[in-house]
Each structure stands twice: as structure tokens, then as C-alpha cells.
A and B are shown apart, each in its own frame.
Chain A
Amino acid sequence: MRAGRIALQALLAVIVGGLIYGAFINAADNLARAHISSGFGFWNNSAGFDISQTLIPYSAGISTFGRAFWVGLLNTLLVAALGVVLATLLGFTIGVARLSRNWLVARLAGGYVELIRNVPLLLQLLFWYNAVLKSLPELRDSIVLPLGGFLNNRGLFLPRPVFAPGFGAVGAALFVGILAAIVLHVWARRRRERTAAPIPVGWWMAALIVGLPLAGFALAGFPVAFEWPQMSRFNVIGGLEILPEFAALVLALSVYTAAFIAEVVRAGILAVAPGQTEAAQALGLRSGATLRLIVVPQAMRVIVPPLTSQYLNLTKNSSLAVAIGYPDLVQVFAGSVLNITGQAVEVIAITMAVYLTISLVTSLLMNLYARMTAIVER
């Protein structure tokens, strides 16, 4: 029996190894025949193609494929971060609304979830891009927004803030404010635990976090100027340009993921036994305090693991950017770079490694959180 098991495993290992070896031999053979070099030498070669949105300096003539990779990765992370924030806000709102005692609110939220979850994300993305954003007015009929912005089918153009050197003071003030607020919070909690007298410090904390930077801003002499977008005959010059591809991707991802987050939130809240709420009310807690102190902490333990996997899904789904031409990692690297170099194995391997790293790091953090919040039973 034991020998049989070892033989079985050895056989499996040999088969898998053989398949991988065969694939490797074939790939080397095919690549040599097509005169495609292998290895990662291409990383430092000049890229020679343009990218429409770059968070770090990049120019087609000088920058390398390696630089293009970082541009694409940063664009992916930007979309993912913004999408996660918006999807969380929308998703929590809708998840709570689905449990509202107000019949109409609950029904509307339910309708949203059913509609969005049952239509493919790619279709929604194309809808936002082609049917909504691309059918905005032409350049010369741009919608003029208050405060000097323009909206047309080439994107959203907003005034770009230009920070003068004195702006560092504001950042420093913000840092000090946050620090002071934390100290205040800890002090208030310690004191409450000692004397049982609640000290309302919420407003003071808000004043510290908002007020100190504002004061610093005024003292430094308002060190910020705006670069206004200028309308020319063929283009909009200057200002902060938000590409329609970017806007469509963020919209589609956050609207789609919000529907799933709403379900996660609903399930989490329903998972808290009703006796918990009743016990809190019996102790005389008001409904706000019941929610904040009793329901939410217990619901979060159920919500956070599936919520993280929704965040991961959003990040992975941001690769749909390739369908509308937003320059994310897949579009820039697995698209343009692959087509130019032809080094499919290396390029796809790098691309997958990036997503795998993001997934693994997130699940490591997730396990850590689960261990921290696990119920300690006697």
C-alpha cells in the first residue's frame, strides 16, 4: 500500500515534470525558429511607444521597457486604489440600505444589486466608455464647469493645483494635528477607563486635524496657485486632465464591485445574532451606540475576509482596461511591450508575477487580521 502511494506520486511528478520539460524544449525550438531572443535583456532597451497617462516621467524616445512597466503598474495601482475607495463607500451604503426598514430604500438597493451583479463587467465598462463618456459633447461644444473646468468627449479638464514651496508647512501641520488627535484620543480613553466619566473629544479631534493645517495654510500665505485649463482650437492645454478611459474604468469597477460588497456587508450584519442588539438595548445603549459598539465590531469580523477578496477581484478586474485602451499593466506590458519584443514567455511571466505578488501579500495580511480578531474562547 505504502509502496503504491509513493509510486503513484513519483509517476505524477514525472508526468508533470515531463510536460513542463517538453513545453520548455518546444518553446526554445519555436522561439529560435522565429528569431526571438530570450532572457530579460529587453528590460533596458528603448521602448519607442507612447503612453497616454504617465504618473512618472516617461517619453517614447528615451525611456526603456522597464520604465514602461513601472508606468503601467502605477496606473493599475491608481485605478485599483481609487476603485477600492469608491466601491467601499458605495457598497457599504447599499448594503446597509438593503437592510433598511424603509421598504422603498431596501427594494431600490436590492434592485441595484440584482441588476449590476447579473450583467458582465466588460459590458458595463464598454457601456460607460462608449455609450456615456464618448457621447459627451465634442471639444468645441465642451460643457464648461464652474471654477474653470471643461468636460467633453476627450476627458475631464480641471484646474491643476501648483504648490509653492511654503506648502510643506501645511503637510507638517496636518501631521502634527493627526498626532495630537491620537494622543488626545488615547488620553480620553484612559481617563474614561479610570473614572468612567465619558469625555466627548470627537469635535476636538476634528478641530485638530482640520484646523491646524488650515491655520498653517493661512500663516504660510496661501502657498497654492492653480493652473487653469485653456481651450484652444484643437485641444485643451494645461490643467489636470482626466482621461475618459480612466474615468470609465474607475466608474465601472466601483459600480460593479459595490454590488458585491453590498452583499458582503449585508451578510456580515445579518450574521450578528439579534440577541446582541436586544441585549445592548436592554443595557440602555442608544441605537447609534449599539451599532458602533456592538454590531459593527462583530460584523467586521465576518465582513473583512470576503471584503478583501472583493478588493483583490477589483484589482484583477482592472486588467479589463485593455478593452478600452487605458494604459494599465496588462495593456502597456502584456500588450504593447509583448507585441514589440515578441518575448511572450518573459512578459506574461512578469505580468502574472505582479498580480500573484499582490494576491499573496493581501492574503498574508488577511490571515494576520483573522488571527488578530479571532474570538478568544475560554
Chain B
Amino acid sequence: MAAIADTPVLYVRTAPAAKLPPPAAGSGFIGWLRVNLFATPGNAILTLACVALIAWAVPPLIRFLFIDAVWSGPNREVCLASPAHPEPGACWAFVRVWLSYFLYGFYPIAERWRVDVFFAALALGIAWLGSISAPRRDLGAVYFFIVLPVLSFVLLYGLPAIGLAAVPTNLWGGVLVTIVVAAVGIVASLPIGILLALGRRSELPVVRWLAIGFIEFVRGVPLITVLFMASVMLPLFVPQRLEPDKLLRALIGVALFASAYMAEVVRGGLAGVPRGQYEAARALALTYWRMMGLVILPQALQVTLPNIVNTFIGLFKDTTLVFVVGIFDLLRTIEAARGDPKWATPVTAGTGYAFAALFYFIFCYGMSRYARGVEARLSRGGRR
């Protein structure tokens, strides 16, 4: 005890210490910057490099698309470099003049309302089937997979008996063809894909091997060769009097191709349904098709809906490949219009592609947002 008492006290603070400032990192705008952009010297360099990249790429792009762009005019003269306009931007005047061609192709002007009705009917079907909380989605499925195809065919191709003049498919073009190819691919690939997936998991060897052979064959070759096959070999395989329409051939190729990919997605969904569900359905003495239709498929499709939508996105992008077999989809109409000497300028190609990119991006991004929304909703349900 004494030893402690004898130790001299070296320092005792008598006044309160000065307050220190709060630690630099943490909250506030500066804190956010410090944590997220300038955490380490290496990070700071990366950030500065990114800023430089954005500064290099974005302003010229905005200048090209908007500030220097030409919005209207009668011909190519307005989009050429001139003393008043040394650096011409996008030639939107070209898109404006050709817009109806990009939308409808050479579809007769008097009949274009039919295309508009088709677009509206398709939008209704997608909204009905796509929103999980919509009423009577079973009716929606009937509408989408039975009523809509018949209605679309009558509307677009025409039925002279009821006063709709026939419009041959070589007049169709642009967005109309893109949407038709995508819609046929979607409407055909889902049922065929489901059948193929069921076939691949079937216990019957002949069914299983036919399904496996078809799926693996189609997935192993590029879409272009499938389209070539459909457009060159299909006419050989049918009797000569049934020479199929050029668009129809491409549609068959796209539908077969999409079905094989859809089959694999559905198979993934089927694999996710627990065995107990099959056993319970069997215990209730349901037949195979009732078990699949009432118990297994509803769950499998619900679970795999995001993947189905992702397949649709791929299909929507792949519709551009019909270009190669001479069908005038949106991209091909842009290529054709680009060659018009009245509008040939150095910026015409870039403008046309920017327009097409915008179109595809809006559709594909919309679909992928939808898929993500469904996914989030499903995982919410599963967590309960």
C-alpha cells in the first residue's frame, strides 16, 4: 500500500480537454463521397478515370443526339455539314420522313388501322397475362393463346369474306413484322416448349429421346442456320403445290428455335417442384395430364416466370436475324431506307441505328424490369 502512496503523481488534468471534431468519415455528402468514391488512393484514381471517361463520352453523344441534331427538313441537304452547321448531329428528319415505313412497311395506307388494332389487342393480352393480380387469368390464357392468334391472322392477313382485303405478307414490314415474329415465337414456344420439357422428363423412352434429340439439336446450332434451313429446305420437304410463304417459313424457324430454349427453361422450373407434390397428386389418383395441368405446371411456371421472360427478351432480340433471310423487319427497313439517295449522309446510318437501339432497348429493358419485379414478388411470397 505504501509503495503506491509513495509513487509521485505525474499528471492530473484539471481542466476539461478541448472537444475534438467528429471523425471525418461517416455521414453527410462529404462522408458519402469519402466512403464511396475516395476510400483509398487507388479508389480515387479509379473515380477520376471514370469521371474522365464520362466527360469524354457523354457530352459528344448528347451533342450528336440532341443539340446538333436536325429535327425536320425535306431532304439530305439539312443534314449535311454547312458553314452554319459545321458538325451535323443526328438526322432525325430522316426518321420522321420514313417513320410510317419503319412502323408498317408497305402495308396499304388505307388498311393500317388493322395493324393498330392488332397492336392494341396484343397489348391487352400481354397486360392481362402479365400482371399477376389481374382477374380471370385463365380466360386471359385462352384469349392469348387461341383468340389472339386467330384474330391477328384475320386482321393482318385479311379475310375477304368479311370485307377485310387480303394483304400479302411481302407488303408487311418494320415494327409490324418485328412484333409479329416475336409474338408468334412467344405464343408458339410456350406450349411447344412445355410439351418438350414434359417429354424430356417422361418415363417413356421414345418420347424422352425424341425430345432430347430435338432440344439438343436446335440448341447446338445458330439461329441463322435454322432460318436458312427453314427458308431453303422447308420448300423442298413439302409437295410443290404447297410452297410456303416466305414470312411463314421464317416464323416456323423462329418458333422451333424458341421452343427448344423454352423447353429448357420449363424443365428448370419442373425440377424446382418438390417430389412431394407429384406424390400427393398421385395419391389423389389424378391422371398424368391432370397432375401436370392442375398441380405441377402452375407451380413450375410461376417459379420460372422470370426465366421465361428472359427467354422472351432473347427471342425479341433474335427477331432481328430474319433480316438475313430477306424479311423486312425493323432493322431491315432501316437498312433499306438508309440507302435512299435522297437521305444519304454521313450521319444517316448512325441516326437510324440510334432509333432502332432506342426501340429495342425500351422493350427489352421493360421486360427485364418486369422479370425482376416478378422475381422480387415471388421471393417475398416464399419468405413467409
Q: Which residues of A contact B (CB under 8 A)?
A: 5, 8-10, 12-13, 16, 22-23, 26-27, 29-31, 33, 100-105, 108, 114-115, 117-123, 126-127, 130-131, 134-135, 316-317, 319-320, 322-323, 330, 334, 338, 344-345, 348, 351-352, 355-356, 359-360
The stretch that binds A, out of B35-43, B130-138, B153-161, is B35-43
Q: A23 to B235, alpha carbons, bound, how many Å?
A: 10
Q: Is the CB of B220 within 8 A of A359?
A: yes
Q: Find residues 72-124 in chain B having any chain A CB closer than 8 Å to their own CB.
A: none
Task: List 8 interface pairs A-B (beta carbons < 8 Å), by A numbering.
Answer: A23-B237, A33-B240, A104-B37, A118-B361, A121-B320, A123-B360, A131-B353, A338-B232
Q: Mark B166-177, 1 if CB is under 8 A from A, else 0.
A: 000000000000
Q: Which of B50, B221, B319, B338 contacts A352 (CB 8 A)?
A: B221
In the complex, chain B residues whose CB is within 8 Å of the CB of A330: 222, 224-225, 228
Known A-B contacts A123-B353, A135-B349; the reply to A317 vs B222 at CB < 8 A is yes
**A27–B238 alpha-carbon span in the complex (Å):** 7
Are B320's CB and A123's CB within 8 A? Answer: yes
Inter-chain contacts of A118 with B (CB < 8 A): 313, 317, 360-361, 364-365, 368
Assess whether B364 is in contact with A119, with CB atoms less than 8 Å apart: yes
Give the shortest distance, in Å, between A316 (CB) and chain B (any CB). Answer: 4
Contact A348 B233 (CB under 8 A): yes
B323 within 8 A of A: yes
B205 within 8 Å of A by Cβ? Answer: yes
Which secondary structure dominates where chain B touches chain A? helix
Contact of A102 among B46, B53, B206, B350 (CB under 8 A): B46
Least CB separation from B39: chain A residue: A101
User: In whole angstroms, what is the CA distance A329 to B180 when docked?
Assistant: 30
A33 to B36, CA, bound (A): 73
Residues of A within 8 Å of B236, CB to CB, are: 23, 26-27, 30-31, 344-345
| Contact indicator B37/A348 (Cβ below 8 Å) | no
Q: Which residues of B contact A9 (CB under 8 A)?
A: 204-207
B222 touches A102 (CB 8 A): no
Question: Bound state CA distance, A131 and B248, in angstroms?
Answer: 32
Inter-subunit contact A104/B221 (CB<8 Å): no
The answer to whether B317 touches A120 (Cβ under 8 A) is yes
> Cβ of B36 and Cβ of A103 under 8 Å apart?
yes
> Chain A contacts of B217 at CB under 8 A?
352, 356
List chain B residues, Cβ under 8 A from A26. 236-239
Q: CA of A120 to CA of B54 in the docked complex: distance in angstroms?
A: 24
Q: How far is the CB of B62 from chain A (nearest CB, A)?
A: 15
> What is the CA–CA distance of A198 and B375 in the complex, to the nearest angstrom?
48
The residue of chain A having its C-beta at the shortest distance from the C-beta of B208 within the complex is: A9
A101 CB contact (under 8 Å) in B36, B346, B365 = B36
A352 & B357 in contact (Cβ 8 Å cutoff) = no
A132 to B245, CA, bound (A): 36
Known: A102-B39, A345-B236, A360-B220. A355 touches B353 (CB 8 A): no
Q: Does B321 contact A (CB under 8 A)?
A: yes
Indicate if B331 sits at the interface (CB-CB under 8 A): yes
Q: A129's closest neighbor in chain B, by CB?
A: B349
Asked whether A320 and B321 contact (CB < 8 A) given A26-B239, A122-B331, A345-B236, the answer is: yes
What chain B residues lie within 8 Å of A123 (beta carbons)? Answer: 320, 331, 353, 356-357, 360
Cα A196 to Cα B35 with chains together (Å) = 38
Residues 191-235 of B, flagged 1 when their CB comes within 8 A of A and 0 if not, give: 000000000000011110010000001011111110011001101
A118 to B356: give the CA distance in the assembly, Å.
12
Question: Known contacts A8-B204, A123-B356, A319-B225; can you find 19 more A-B pairs with CB under 8 A?
Answer: A8-B207, A9-B206, A10-B206, A26-B238, A103-B37, A105-B47, A114-B365, A119-B360, A120-B360, A123-B360, A131-B353, A135-B346, A316-B221, A323-B324, A330-B225, A345-B233, A348-B232, A356-B217, A356-B221
Q: How does the 8 Å CB contact mask read for B361-376 relative to A, with 1 for contact and 0 for none? A: 1001100100000000
- Please, which residue of chain A has its CB at the minimum distance from the CB of B54? A108
Whether B51 and A104, one on each chain, are in contact in the complex, defined by CB atoms closer than 8 angstroms, is yes
Measured between C-beta atoms, what is the minimum distance from B23 to chain A in Å? 19
Q: How far is the CB of B222 from chain A (nearest CB, A)?
A: 4
Contact among A117, A121, A344, A355 with B233 in the assembled complex (CB-CB below 8 Å): A344
Closest CB-CB distance, A343 to chain B, in whole Å? Answer: 10
For B222, the chain A residues whose CB sits under 8 A away are 316-317, 319, 330, 355
B366 closest partner in A (C-beta): A118
